[in-house]
């Protein structure tokens, strides 16, 4: 995918010129040029330029936040107050090649039904994100060190949202990334462009979820919260671990991507394949109308295989997903997935999910609605249905508030169908 991350219009000259190569490579990993229009579409196009991963990956998130600051907001006074700090960070990046950004997310969730009496949860997540261009800065094939140092912690409740599903009998996760793991280096990898920006590689401590079955709406900090909505529940994505991702464009519209990562990855324990040679593998081939539209309009087939994890007793698992999304006139994105797995190591054997996101006004507000029906892997359980809707209110360039509701039908061991209400705050700099 990396090769497609350089946003040139669809044409293939017989021989790339030096100027073309420089532009392509710089757009890929060095930070996209200022958007020609301050719009949601421009942010997603620019984000696709700077990252091999999805919209929630480190470099892509940085670019979306940077471009968001160019837009009008409801609270211009707050924007002006933060401008000097943002300007200083921008100068620091220009002088050193190191782009530093910071964000804080807080999430509160409450369920209408609980098996244990514990029906509330809350946690926060403070992150420092860095992208440091160290090789060939501004050259043909730049290379960068990318890292995220973060702290996840409970907020005023005895459990974090990551522990809520166990209290309500739900098979899955009502919130992705909102746990209680203290301070950790969640990712630290080298990303390198090659072939004049048409391809690239990422190697080091990676989050395989940033590169597996990605569509343009997948960002647990700015869109949906539930894992089965953001991804297909047939996909057994491990936690961050050591791995490698390679991708590139075969033509101007066809790309291929492959991931190999530690199947026993851990967010908190940075170990070199602690469970031995047990791997998670994912491969994808996809189509997009233009390289710049990879997040906006995309159709791809993904195949995965996870080795048996002997120490924890998880069997070998393999399967496939067919996924697509399309964006209409910069306002409406629709998406859908079909998924199948075999072996028992995933949440579901079969699943279908679909939904939409809509931008209703002049600010960066966002409405999302989606549903997933999953044939669970655990024997004897009925099909589980997950419905989720959210509204994100754009308060300022650096501040957003999201209200979220999830309806969980047939949640495994709970005879009731819980309603989970959520409120998420995000501050970024």
pLDDT in tens, 255-281: 999 999 999 999 998 889 988 999 999
β-pairing verdict for 98-111 and 419-428: antiparallel
Residue 249: pLDDT above 60? yes
Query: Is pLDDT of 6 > 70?
Result: no
pLDDT at 11: 29
- For the chain, give the percent of residues with pLDDT over 90: 68
What does each C-alpha distance from 317 to 240, 265, 308, 428 come to in angstroms?
Answer: 18, 16, 7, 38
Q: For position 142, what pLDDT does the model report?
A: 87
Q: Is the pLDDT assigned to residue 381 strictly greater than 50?
A: yes
**What is the total count of domains within the chain?**
1
**CB 27, CB 197: distance < 8 Å:** yes
3-state secondary structure of 25: helix
Instruction: Provide the pLDDT for residue 373.
Output: 98
Average pLDDT value for residue range 311-326: 96
Tell me how far apart the alpha carbons of residues 353 and 337 are, in angstroms, rounded to a whole number. Answer: 5
Which domain CATH number covers 92?
2.40.160.10
Q: Report which DSSP code applies to 232.
A: -
Given a cut of 60, whether residue 9 has pLDDT beyond it is no
Residue 75, pLDDT score? 86
Planar angle of CA 252, 258, 259, nearest 5 degrees: 145
More confident residue, 73 or 246: 246
Q: Is the model's pLDDT at 339 over the cut of 70? A: yes
Contacts of 47 (CB under 8 A, 6+ apart): 32, 55, 59, 60, 61, 63, 64, 295
Q: Is the dihedral of CA 165, 278, 232, 103 positive or negative?
A: positive
Q: Residue 26: what pLDDT?
A: 30
In which band, very low, low, confident or very high, does the pLDDT at 49 lie, cut at 50, 70 and 90?
A: low
Compute the distance between CA of residue 355 and CA of residue 412 in angstroms, rounded to an integer.
23
Q: Which residue has the tokens 């039908």?
A: 409
CA separation for the pair 134, 97 (Å, rounded): 7
Q: What is the pTM for the complete model shown?
A: 0.87
Tell me how far apart the alpha carbons of residues 350 and 378 are, in angstroms, rounded to a whole number. 12
Q: What is the pLDDT of residue 4?
A: 33
In DSSP terms, which residues pair with 394 in a beta bridge?
400
Q: What is the mean pLDDT of residues 298-326?
A: 96
Higher pLDDT, 40 or 160: 160
Per the CB < 8 A criterion, the answer to whether 4 and 177 are in contact is no
Query: From CA 204, how far away is CA 113, in angstroms rounded?
Result: 42
Which domain range does residue 7 map to? 2-428
Instruction: Give the three-class secondary structure for 72.
Output: coil
Label residue 399 by pLDDT band (50, 70, 90). Answer: very high
Q: What is the secondary structure of 293-314 as a DSSP string? A: GTTTSEEEEEEEEE--BTTTTB
What pLDDT digit, counting tens, does each position of 177-222 carry?
A: 999 998 999 999 999 988 877 788 999 999 999 999 999 999 999 9
Report the chain's mean pLDDT, rounded to a whole number: 87
CB atoms < 10 A from the CB of 156, how many? 10
For 13-27, 238-252, 298-312, which range has the lowest pLDDT when averaged over its residues? 13-27
Cα separation, 209 vs 231, whole angstroms: 9
In the predicted model, is pLDDT for residue 22 greater than 60? Answer: no
How far is the C-alpha of 61 from the C-alpha of 215, rounded, in Å? 14
Looking at residues 40-44, what average pLDDT do you find? 74
The backbone region for 126, taken as left when phi is positive above 0, alpha when psi lies in -120 to 50, beta otherwise, is: beta
**Nearest residue to 2 (alpha-carbon basis) of 42, 35, 50:** 50
User: 28 burial class (0-12, 13-18, 19+ CB within 10 angstroms)?
Assistant: buried
Checking phi first, is residue 329 left (phi over 0); if not, alpha (psi -120 to 50) or beta? left
The DSSP call for residue 212 is S
Task: List the single range of 27-31, 66-70, 172-176, 391-395 with lowest mean pLDDT.
Answer: 27-31
């Amino acid at each position: 995918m990396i090769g497609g991350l350089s946003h040139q219009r669809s044409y293939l000259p017989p021989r790339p010129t030096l100027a073309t190569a420089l532009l392509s490579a710089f757009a890929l990993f060095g930070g996209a040029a200022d958007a020609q229009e301050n719009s949601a579409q421009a942010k997603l196009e620019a984000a696709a330029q700077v990252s091999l991963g999805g919209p929630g990956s480190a470099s892509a998130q940085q670019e979306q936040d940077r471009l968001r600051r160019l837009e009008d907001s409801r609270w211009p006074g707050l924007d002006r107050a933060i401008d000097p700090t943002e300007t200083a960070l921008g100068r620091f990046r220009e002088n050193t090649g190191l782009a530093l950004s910071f964000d804080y997310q807080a999430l509160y969730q409450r369920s209408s039904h609980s098996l244990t009496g514990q029906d509330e949860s809350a946690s926060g997540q403070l992150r420092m994100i860095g992208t440091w261009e160290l090789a060939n800065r501004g050259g043909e094939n730049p290379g960068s060190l990318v890292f995220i140092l973060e702290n996840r912690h409970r907020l005023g409740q005895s459990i974090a949202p990551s522990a809520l599903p166990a209290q309500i009998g739900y098979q899955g996760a009502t919130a992705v990334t909102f746990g209680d793991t203290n301070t950790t280096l969640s990712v630290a990898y080298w990303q390198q462009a090659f072939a004049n920006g048409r391809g690239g590689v990422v190697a080091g401590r990676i989050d395989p979820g940033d590169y597996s079955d990605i569509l343009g709406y997948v960002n647990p900090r700015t869109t949906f919260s539930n894992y089965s909505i953001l991804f297909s529940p047939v996909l057994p994505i491990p936690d961050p671990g050591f791995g490698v991702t390679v991708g590139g464009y075969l033509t101007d519209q066809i790309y291929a991507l492959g991931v190999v990562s530690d199947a026993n990855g851990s967010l908190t324990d940075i170990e070199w394949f602690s469970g031995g040679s047990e791997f998670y593998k994912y491969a994808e081939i996809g189509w997009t109308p233009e390289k710049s539209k990879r997040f906006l309009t995309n159709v791809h087939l993904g195949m995965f295989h996870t080795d048996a994890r002997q120490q924890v007793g998880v069997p070998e698992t393999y399967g496939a997903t067919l996924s697509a999304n399309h964006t209409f006139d910069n306002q409406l994105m629709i998406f859908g997935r079909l998924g199948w797995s075999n072996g028992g190591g995933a949440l579901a054997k079969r699943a279908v999910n679909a939904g939409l996101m809509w931008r209703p006004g002049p600010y960066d507000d966002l409405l999302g609605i989606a549903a997933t029906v999953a044939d669970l892997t655990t024997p004897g359980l009925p099909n589980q249905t997950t419905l989720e809707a959210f509204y994100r209110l754009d308060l300022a360039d650096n501040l957003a508030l999201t209200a979220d509701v999830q309806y969980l039908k047939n949640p495994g061991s709970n005879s009731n169908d819980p309603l989970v209400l959520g409120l998420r705050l995000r501050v970024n700099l």
